[in-house]
């Protein structure tokens, strides 16, 4: 079974456009879990454009209260503290999620758009990964489907990789001829990861149109989906949107 982890960033983004706590991020996380999602994902950033540190702590408590629900916190471990954002590792080590997905996004990026270059960053990441694993937190690295880089992910101690699916989603959206070659590259990357003993997650711009194909990726364990699911929830309702994605992942 491929797990669905619903990314709540866009719910938080809407909330932050006004004063107060409407919509309530934790309440919407509860709806997702009640609808059958296997987990929740957040990606706090130093500028707190969406998820805030207190959201991380509150959602961690929500997931701990639900048997089998996993909490995944994403972010750049090298980003400096800013205001009451303490930095990713202090935040994660206090919340103790099930998984931490390390992502090489800069503060001024609109969204994540590339995986780690571990030839450059591997030595800095290795002790941080060890620190997270010592706290019994599974570590995933956001990666492009590059076989050499995936080998380095194993070397620095990662438990899983999350394949960046943006180019695949873009190619499907424009019905480009490169869809087949991109998907084949992702399949080869997933197989290579499995041979190394790494788990395989995926995420970024996956939706109900491109997910039926991508769900056949060898050994895929988890997808984190936020933007498209939130958009679909506008017309479907959040619980129905979660159900639609779960059905898609199960091949129904």
Q: Give residue limits of the domains in the chain.
A: 3-250
Is 172 in contact with 186 (CB distance < 8 Å)?
no
Residue 113 pLDDT: 62
What confidence tens digit (pLDDT) does each residue in 136-191 have?
Answer: 999 999 999 999 999 999 999 999 999 999 999 999 999 989 999 999 999 999 99
Whether the per-residue pLDDT at 73 is higher than 90: the answer is: yes
Q: What band does 248 get if pLDDT is binned at 50, 70 and 90? A: very high
Task: Give the pTM.
Answer: 0.96
Residue 112 pLDDT: 55
Name which of 84, 30, 32, 81 is nearest 54 in CA terms: 84
Name which of 201, 217, 225, 209 is nearest 172 in CA terms: 209
CA distance 115 to 152: 12
Is 135 in contact with 96 (CB distance < 8 Å)?
yes
Q: Which of 50, 70, 74, 186 is catalytic?
A: 74
Q: Which of 43, 50, 186, 192 is catalytic?
A: 43
What confidence tens digit (pLDDT) does each residue in 199-220 have?
Answer: 999 999 999 999 999 999 999 9
Residue 78 pLDDT: 95
Rounded to the nearest integer, the mean pLDDT of the chain is 96
- The mean per-residue pLDDT over the stretch 47-51 comes to 95
Q: Which of 50, 186, 192, 204 is catalytic?
A: 204
Could you give the percent of the chain with pLDDT greater than 90? 93
CA distance 156 to 117: 12
Is 98 in contact with 137 (CB distance < 8 Å)?
yes
Q: Which positions ≥6 away from 91 have C-beta within 8 Å?
A: 44, 53, 56, 73, 75, 85
| Annotation marks residue 43 as catalytic | yes
CA 158-12-113 angle, to 5 degrees, is: 45
Span 3-250: which CATH code? 3.20.20.70
Q: Say whether the peptide bond before residue 23 is cis (omega within 30 degrees of 0).
A: yes
* Chain center to CA of 179: 22
Q: What band does 252 get if pLDDT is binned at 50, 70 and 90? A: confident
């Amino acid at each position: 079974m491929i797990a669905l982890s619903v990314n709540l960033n866009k719910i938080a983004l809407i909330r932050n456009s006004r004063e107060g706590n409407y919509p309530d991020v934790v309440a919407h996380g509860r709806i997702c879990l009640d609808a059958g999602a296997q987990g929740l994902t957040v990606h706090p950033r130093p500028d707190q454009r969406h998820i805030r540190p207190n959201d991380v702590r509150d959602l961690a408590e929500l997931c701990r209260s639900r048997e089998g629900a996993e909490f995944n916190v994403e972010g750049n471990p090298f980003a400096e503290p800013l205001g009451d954002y303490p930095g990713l590792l202090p935040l994660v080590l206090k919340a103790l999620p099930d998984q931490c997905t390390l992502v090489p996004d800069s503060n001024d990026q609109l969204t994540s758009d590339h995986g780690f270059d571990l030839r450059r960053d591997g030595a800095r990441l290795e002790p941080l990964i060890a620190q997270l694993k010592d706290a019994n937190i599974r570590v995933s690295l956001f990666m492009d489907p590059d076989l050499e880089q995936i080998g380095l992910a194993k070397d620095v101690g990662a438990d899983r990789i999350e394949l960046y699916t943006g180019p695949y989603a873009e190619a499907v959206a424009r019905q480009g001829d490169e869809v087949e070659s991109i998907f084949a590259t992702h399949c080869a990357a997933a197989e290579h990861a499995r041979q190394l003993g790494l788990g395989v997650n995926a995420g970024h711009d996956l939706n109900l149109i491109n997910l039926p194909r991508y769900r056949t990726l060898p050994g895929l364990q988890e997808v984190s989906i936020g933007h498209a699911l939130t958009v679909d929830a506008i017309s479907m309702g959040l619980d129905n949107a979660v159900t639609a994605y779960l059905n898609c992942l199960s091949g129904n």
